[in-house]
């Protein structure tokens, strides 16, 4: 070969060599940038690891998990973060109160007993206090939180599995490496032997958590990672997820059946109310200065009422009112033992009368008792859930006065209770300085937006309260001389036929104004059209349903309107 050709061949070889070197360098850089993080060991080896429902949360703990004398202790603030956001230290009785779906447990600091749903239970550990931190003997609370707990000494790991979640196991059909991420280019976190059983991690839809053909698992030493989906065999669901079922399918349509506490229960025998599936008779009230005692105004007539309701397919959620006893309510809310007594009295009445739930109607409370009223709801809910009963709580519109509006934490109530009932009326009430509508559509809609927005309540928790009454405003010389309530069914009797009814499209109701005996009468009318408009908001926002105050104030013609709007027979 000529020398020139040899030089050219040599130059080509050098360029090819350089190209290959550069290509390999680029590939290496690409590999490092893309896959190097997959090889970083993020495990925490110098402390007890905590794995909750197949997620290692050790790095998110505010305090270390302790193990003393075989008892697992978790700091109260971590319990709040992972298990019970409403766990509470009761300073008056030096105890911790914690709740779950159907359990309420109280435990005095330093004592080896707990009270679980009213029953005293001995424990192997006690609440510890270290450096201003309370540590809960978590292994004694497994029934409260409905979990299975295991300690794996080999890896110093605690696993916690909720017993209401789906649990799936499978076998490895070969010796296998468990990868930290769903890729071969990843750190190995554990090794599996052939036929070794693993836990298969479930996603939010209760399906195997599969990513690009890799399935997430947990090994028997608490390591979490991925293996190829086809490398598992003999998959078996050892426990299915527990689904929470609503007592009522479709929209709730509840009517309050009010009667004076010293009168008799209404006799509804032989009647059938179209478009309703829940009756709420006013059976119960607090006893003034009764320290949790409840006045029972149901008796044998109440039992007959419940029997009538059930025979007609209605659920019965009677109301318990505080009768606006502000100081009595405050005394109960500020004392755990009194709250407990009230709850026990409510449970006893529910069992005695075969009720399906309870409607809490506490109005007029000190705004400084807001969080304590929430505590009452938090502590009542698990006791009701334990026996399969529904909890609904009445609240007023947000942003009102201190003792009528600011006394409710709607976010907490809406989170804890089955339903929060927005009493969407008295927009302009008996104490208003200017005449106005009782429940204008625009005001109702604006407040629903507040419930969903600033109050953070889920739409499917909200029952919209609708009035079967309005007000007559009497004015003379431009000043209000009298305000009185009038039933929907009586409006046609008091409004002269000659008076023109003017439609207000913002309020979605008719307005009338007329003069009698020198008095100007102003009425914002509640009728089929105004109620239909408010009911449309239930469907527009996909709310839980509607409730009506009160039975026997309405014309018969309203029930077909409700039935059609909510699709309730």
Characterize the bridge pairing of strands 315-316 and 278-281.
parallel
In this structure, what DSSP letter does residue 149 have? E
Q: Determine the pLDDT at residue 7.
A: 54
Percent of the chain residues past pLDDT 90, beyond the cut = 90
Secondary structure class of 137 (helix, strand, coil): strand
Digit-coded pLDDT (tens) for 75-113: 999 999 999 999 999 999 999 999 999 999 999 999 999
517 or 18, which is more confident: 517
Q: Which helix (H) or strand (E) holds 417?
A: none
Q: Mean pLDDT, to the nearest integer, of 361-368?
A: 98
Digit-coded pLDDT (tens) for 183-208: 999 999 999 999 999 999 999 999 99
In this structure, are residues 544 and 419 in contact, taking their beta carbons and an 8 Å threshold?
yes
Digit-coded pLDDT (tens) for 449-503: 999 999 999 999 999 999 999 999 999 999 999 999 999 999 999 999 999 999 9
Distances (CA, A) of 150 to 114, 221, 240, 241, 322: 21, 10, 20, 20, 46
Characterize the bridge pairing of strands 502-504 and 357-361.
unpaired
At 540, the pLDDT band (50, 70, 90 cuts) reads very high
> Residue holding tokens 């698990």?
382
Joined tokens for residue 56: 């290692």
CATH class of 253-467+526-566: alpha beta
**Complete DSSP assignment for 69-80:** TTEEEEEHHHHH
Residues contacting residue 134 through CB under 8 Å, at least 6 positions apart:
75, 76, 89, 96, 109, 127, 128
Q: What does the chain come to in residues?
A: 569
3-state helix, strand, coil in the chain (%, to 5): 30, 30, 40
Q: Which helix (H) or strand (E) holds 499?
A: none
What's the CA gap between 127 and 56, in Å, rounded? 24
**Domain limits of the chain?**
49-149, 165-239, 253-467+526-566
What's the CA gap between 379 and 373, in Å, rounded? 10
Taking the model in full, what pTM does it have?
Answer: 0.92
Q: Determine the pLDDT at residue 45.
A: 83
At 44, the pLDDT band (50, 70, 90 cuts) reads confident
Secondary structure class of 158 (helix, strand, coil): strand
Would you say residue 33 has pLDDT above 80? Answer: no
Q: Determine the pLDDT at residue 16.
A: 58
Q: Determine the pLDDT at residue 416.
A: 98
Choose among 491, 507, 500: nearest CA to 553.
491
Secondary structure class of 39 (helix, strand, coil): helix
Q: Which helix (H) or strand (E) holds 529?
A: helix 528-540
Angle between helices 441-452 and 528-540 in degrees, nearest 10: 20
Mean pLDDT of the chain: 94
User: Under CATH, what is the fold of the domain 49-149?
Assistant: Copper Amine Oxidase; Chain A, domain 1 (3.30.457)
What's the CA gap between 256 and 421, in Å, rounded? 12
Ranking 11-20, 379-388, 559-568 by mean pLDDT, the lowest is 11-20
In this structure, what DSSP letter does residue 250 have? S
What's the CA gap between 366 and 330, in Å, rounded? 7
Q: Which residues of 150-175 are buried (b: 16+ CB within 10 A; e: fewer)?
A: eebeebbbbbbbbeebbbbbbbbeee
Distances (CA, A) of 66 to 159, 164, 302, 525: 14, 26, 53, 65
What's the CA gap between 102 and 290, in Å, rounded? 27
Q: Determine the pLDDT at residue 32.
A: 43
User: Under CATH, what is the fold of the domain 165-239?
Assistant: SH3 type barrels. (2.30.30)
Q: Determine the pLDDT at residue 42.
A: 65
Digit-coded pLDDT (tens) for 210-231: 999 999 999 999 999 999 999 9
Q: Determine the pLDDT at residue 28.
A: 46
Range list of H helices, 255-388: 299-311, 326-333, 336-353, 370-386
Would you say residue 37 has pLDDT above 80? Answer: no
């Amino acid at each position: 070969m000529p020398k020139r050709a040899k030089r050219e061949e040599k130059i080509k070889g050098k360029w090819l060599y350089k190209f290959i070197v550069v290509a390999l360098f680029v590939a290496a850089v690409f590999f490092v940038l893309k896959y190097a993080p997959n090889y970083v060991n993020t495990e925490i080896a110098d402390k007890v690891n905590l794995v909750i429902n197949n997620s290692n949360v050790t790095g998110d703990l505010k305090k270390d998990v302790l193990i003393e004398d075989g008892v697992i202790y978790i700091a109260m603030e971590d319990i709040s973060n992972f298990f019970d956001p409403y766990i509470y230290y009761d300073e008056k009785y030096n105890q911790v109160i914690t709740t779950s779906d159907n359990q309420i447990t109280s435990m005095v600091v330093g004592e080896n007993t707990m009270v679980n749903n009213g029953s005293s239970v001995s424990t192997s550990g006690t609440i510890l206090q270290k450096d201003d931190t309370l540590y809960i003997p978590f292994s004694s609370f497994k029934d409260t939180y409905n979990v299975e707990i295991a300690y794996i000494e080999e890896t110093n790991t605690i696993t916690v599995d909720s017993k209401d979640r789906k649990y799936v196991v499978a076998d490895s059909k070969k010796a296998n490496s468990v990868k930290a991420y769903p890729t071969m280019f990843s750190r190995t976190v554990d090794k599996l032997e052939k036929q070794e059983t693993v836990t298969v991690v479930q996603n939010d839809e209760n399906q195997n958590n599969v990513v690009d053909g890799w399935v997430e698992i947990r090994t028997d030493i608490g390591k979490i990672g991925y293996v190829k989906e086809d490398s598992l065999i003999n998959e078996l669901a050892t426990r299915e997820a527990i689904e929470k079922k609503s007592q009522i399918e479709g929209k709730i349509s509840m009517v309050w059946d009010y009667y004076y506490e010293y009168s008799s229960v209404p006799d509804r025998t032989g009647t059938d109310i179209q478009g309703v599936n829940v009756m709420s008779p006013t059976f119960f009230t607090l006893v003034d200065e009764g320290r949790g005692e409840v006045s029972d105004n149901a008796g044998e007539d109440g039992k007959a009422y419940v029997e009538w309701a059930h025979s007609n397919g209605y659920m019965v959620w009677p109301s318990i009112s505080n009768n606006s006893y502000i100081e009595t309510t405050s005394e109960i809310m500020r004392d755990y033992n009194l709250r407990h007594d009230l709850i026990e009295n409510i449970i006893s009445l529910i069992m005695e009368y075969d009720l399906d739930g309870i409607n809490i109607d506490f109005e007029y409370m000190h705004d400084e008792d807001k969080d304590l009223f929430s505590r009452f709801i938090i502590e009542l809910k698990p006791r009701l859930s334990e026996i399969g009963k529904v909890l609904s709580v009445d609240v007023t519109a947000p942003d009102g006065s201190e003792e009528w509006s600011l006394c409710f934490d709607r976010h907490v109530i809406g989170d804890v209770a089955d339903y929060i009932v927005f009493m969407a009326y008295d927009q302009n009430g008996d104490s208003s300085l200017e005449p106005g509508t009782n429940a204008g559509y625009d005001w109702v809609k604006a407040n629903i937006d507040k419930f969903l927005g600033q109050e953070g309540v889920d739409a499917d928790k909200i029952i919209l309260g609708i009035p079967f009454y309005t007000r007559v405003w009497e004015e003379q010389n431009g000043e209000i001389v009298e305000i009185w309530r009038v039933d929907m069914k009586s409006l046609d009797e008091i409004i002269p036929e000659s008076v023109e009814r003017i439609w207000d499209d913002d309020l979605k109701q008719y307005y009338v104004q007329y003069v009698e005996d020198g008095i100007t009468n102003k009425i914002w009318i509640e009728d089929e059209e105004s109620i239909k408009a408010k009911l449309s908001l239930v469907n527009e926002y996909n709310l839980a349903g509607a409730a009506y105050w009160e039975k026997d104030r309405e014309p018969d013609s309203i029930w077909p309107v409700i039935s059609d709007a909510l699709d309730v027979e």
